[in-house]
Amino acid sequence: MKKKKPIWKKWWLWLVILFVCLNILITNLSESEYDHEQERNELKEGNISTH
C-alpha cells in the first residue's frame, strides 16, 4: 500500500502559498504608492488633509 505524502510536502501547495504572498505584497505596495501619490497631489494643490 502506497503511503500519501503530507500536504506540506506537496509542491503545488507551496506554489499556491507563493502566489498568495506575492499578491498580498504587490497589493500592499501598490496601495502604498497610491496613497503617497494622492498626498503629493493634495500638497501641490494646497489641500492638506488631516487623516
Where residue 8 falls among pLDDT bands split at 50, 70, 90? confident
CA distance 21 to 37: 24
CA distance 51 to 47: 12
pLDDT at 24 over 90: yes
Helices (H) then strands (E): counts for the chain: 1, 0
C-beta atoms surrounding 32 within 10 Å: 10
Percentage, residues of the chain above pLDDT 70 = 76
Q: Which of 1-10, 27-36, 40-49 has the lowest mean pLDDT?
A: 40-49
CA distance 18 to 23: 8
pLDDT at 31 over 90: no
- Cell for 45? 494643490
pTM of the model: 0.57
